[in-house]
Structure 1
Amino acid sequence: MDLDLRKLRYFIAVAERLHFGQAAEALHITQPALSRQIRQLEHDVGVDLFVRTSREVTLTPAGEQLLHDAGRLLAASHAARDRARRAGEDGRHLTVGFMLGIDTAPALQCFAERHPDVIIHLKRLRWKDYDQALLDGRVDVGFVRLPLVPEGLSTMFLYNEPFTVALPADHPLAGKTSLSIDDIADEPVLHYADADPAWNAFWRIDPRPDGSRPRSGPVVHDIEEIVEYVRAGRGVMFFPSAIASLFPRPHVTYVPVADAPLGGVVLAWDSTRHSPLIAALAEAILETGPLGR
């Protein structure tokens, strides 16, 4: 039986709160009605999703797996709805994703001048789901950083980015004009939450050129947490130089890392989509010249 997306939304509400009453209140339905929907969903998938006792509600292993997959399933359904809506608007809409620190303005201005009838929507992309946003159609095309993990994406290389490392301002190495990886080999490195392992490995420089592994610092969810952990001396973090310039802080210093591998920025899109608007954006980039310089 196909999954009912409405029941899936109900499941997520309970799984996130582990409390039927609170979930029912958030969904604006009665608790008995919610319980019936969850039991029906369990019947549909053929396994128990929750363990219910008089004191608590917990997820079964099957429930944990479904919760892991449910967000992407709902995102894919929303993306399908948005694509249908855009198609019904004569295809004159382009949703462009971007990561922080990537200067998209010259290319988008050139594109807009050439195609004044196209409405451009901008959406910030984050490390934890930028690849899925491209594959499920939440964005049509994206300015993103390597490494791109999944198959099914086409890319156009744009430019390389040097690494910098974020250090506490009172760190003994903070006053240097440049550092090597060996200089900071003993520092714990923060760890991106919910990121693909390849993303973490690349941006943590793991392994190091000599085969060693960096010490692990706290897990971080956004740039604000990164800056605060660095400021507190809990770990260091490698950044593209463009990101460092966006977040100046009096208690954090950014120092170039001379021997770090170069990062890369690409234009990426779903290989199965053949959109003339994506091709036109690529042409605009070629006309304006390399970005990031």
Structure 2
Amino acid sequence: MLDNPMDLDLRKLRYFVAVAERLHFGQAALALHVTQPALSRQVRQLERDLGVELFTRTSRNVTLTAAGEQFLDDAKTLLAAGQAVQDRVRRIGAGERTVTVGFMLGTDVTAAVNAFSARHPDVPLELVRIRWWNQQQPLLDRTVDIGFVRLPIDAEGLKVLPLYPERLSVVLPADHPLAGEAAIGISALAGEPILRYADADPDWAAVWNAEPSRGPAFHDMEELLGYIRAGRGVVLIPDPVAALFPRPDIAYVPVTDVPPGRVALAWDDTRPSSLVTDFVEAARTALRLGE
């Protein structure tokens, strides 16, 4: 986390992405309809704002630094979120009703989404991916109207409706001694380096980082699987996430004596919306809550 928080300029992010995707300032300037010197100045200013070099520049070529590669993924996510907010505000301003639903990887939104759409076939519905380190923020800043989240979540300012549990499994290299077991207890992992969910808040870390977490931190499934294959650690994940990444070099073994994860719906209850209320009721009906 930066010691001195800064405001990221979306224009500078667009300039950075244009250069990063082409690795050529001249081509990026043509695509953006700006002069190359102006583009270079904006990218240099972004690097000064961040306090890191995003590109390695020589007289022959331009390449991304390690920080630049990570920032490219983050910048694309920020630009997509910014565009989604702008589009949504314009639609609302034009009188068009819409519902934006956030979801975490592996959460099952199908039943609730279909039930809502059956009630409101004329209402556009959009899906937006949210992550463990910012589950609350998209709900509070109106990027999404309602979200399928994984507990725990900072519920300040939010209404939270628990939906269903998820069994947890440990992710192991396929050649690990425990990889062939039908199920294990958490004590079998004693002494194993445990991977950490990067940038997680303390409540999330206390549940999902399976203390003590002595392994590297990961930001997504690609990093997680890379660390697992390299033998750098193990980690607990929900079974629905594991089902999305079947691999011959990875094993998922159920852990029998840890509490299951839990998926919930969350929304900002300080901004009443009949469509959000209807989505909640559609989810209750589709998932048979309260029966």
TM-score normalised per structure 2: 0.73
Aligned in 2, Cα 1:25/1:197: closer, same or farther, shift over 3 Å?
A: farther
8 A contact 2:194–2:210 mirrored in 1: no
Specify the SS of the correspondent of 1:189. Answer: coil
> For residues 174 and 42 of structure 2, what CA distance do their matches in structure 1 show?
54
Structure 1: stretches of 5+ with no match in the other structure:
42-47, 57-66, 207-212
Asked if 1:191 is matched to 2:200, the reply is: no
Asked if 1:105 is matched to 2:110, the reply is: yes
Aligned in 2, Cα 1:284/1:11: closer, same or farther, shift over 3 Å?
A: closer
Asked if 1:168 is matched to 2:194, the reply is: no
Asked if 1:214 is matched to 2:213, the reply is: yes
Q: Residue type of the partner of 1:170?
A: D
8 A contact 2:103–2:129 mirrored in 1: yes
Instruction: Report the counterpart of residue 10 of structure 1 in structure 2.
Output: 12
Q: Percent identity?
A: 50
Q: Residue type of the partner of 2:101?
A: V
Instruction: Report the counterpart of residue 258 of structure 1 in structure 2.
Output: 256
Residue deviations 1:101-148 (CA, integer Å, cap 9, x gap): 111111111111111111111122222333222221111111111121
Q: Please report how far the alpha carbon of residue 252 of structure 1 lies from its aligned counterpart in structure 2 after TM superposition.
A: 0.9
Instruction: Report the counterpart of residue 45 of structure 1 in structure 2.
Output: none
Instruction: Report the counterpart of residue 288 of structure 1 in structure 2.
Output: 286
Specify the SS of the correspondent of 1:229. Answer: helix
Q: Residue type of the partner of 2:234?
A: V
Q: Please report how far the alpha carbon of residue 219 of structure 1 lies from its aligned counterpart in structure 2 after TM superposition.
A: 2.4
Q: Please report how far the alpha carbon of residue 166 of structure 1 lies from its aligned counterpart in structure 2 after TM superposition.
A: 0.5
Q: Residue type of the partner of 1:174?
A: A
> For residues 121 and 95 of structure 1, what CA distance do their matches in structure 2 show?
5
Aligned in 2, Cα 1:13/1:152: closer, same or farther, shift over 3 Å?
A: farther
Aligned in 2, Cα 1:13/1:150: closer, same or farther, shift over 3 Å?
A: farther
8 A contact 2:196–2:213 mirrored in 1: no
**Which of 122, 139, 148 is the aligned partner of 1:117?**
122
Residue deviations 1:55-78 (CA, integer Å, cap 9, x gap): x9xxxxxxxxxx9xxx89988865
Question: More deviation in 165-174 or 71-80?
Answer: 71-80
Q: Please report how far the alpha carbon of residue 169 of structure 1 lies from its aligned counterpart in structure 2 after TM superposition.
A: 1.2
Q: Residue type of the partner of 1:10?
A: K
TM-score normalised per structure 1: 0.72
Specify the SS of the correspondent of 1:246. Answer: coil
> For residues 81 and 221 of structure 2, what CA distance do their matches in structure 1 show?
26
Asked if 1:151 is matched to 2:156, the reply is: yes
Aligned in 2, Cα 1:284/1:228: closer, same or farther, shift over 3 Å?
A: same
8 A contact 1:82–1:138 mirrored in 2: no
> For residues 85 and 101 of structure 1, what CA distance do their matches in structure 2 show?
30
Instruction: Report the counterpart of residue 267 of structure 1 in structure 2.
Output: 265
Aligned in 2, Cα 1:12/1:121: closer, same or farther, shift over 3 Å?
A: closer
> For residues 38 and 147 of structure 1, what CA distance do their matches in structure 2 show?
38
**Which of 164, 179, 182 is the aligned partner of 1:177?**
182
* Alpha-carbon RMSD: 3.7
8 A contact 2:158–2:268 mirrored in 1: yes
8 A contact 1:94–1:277 mirrored in 2: yes
Aligned in 2, Cα 1:179/1:121: closer, same or farther, shift over 3 Å?
A: same
> For residues 77 and 176 of structure 1, what CA distance do their matches in structure 2 show?
46
**May I ask how many residue pairs the two structures share in their alignment?**
259
Matches of residues 129-140 of structure 1 in structure 2 within 5 Å? 129-140=134-145
Residue deviations 1:85-106 (CA, integer Å, cap 9, x gap): 2312434211111112111111
**Which of 219, 232, 235 is the aligned partner of 1:234?**
232
Q: Please report how far the alpha carbon of residue 272 of structure 1 lies from its aligned counterpart in structure 2 after TM superposition.
A: 2.1
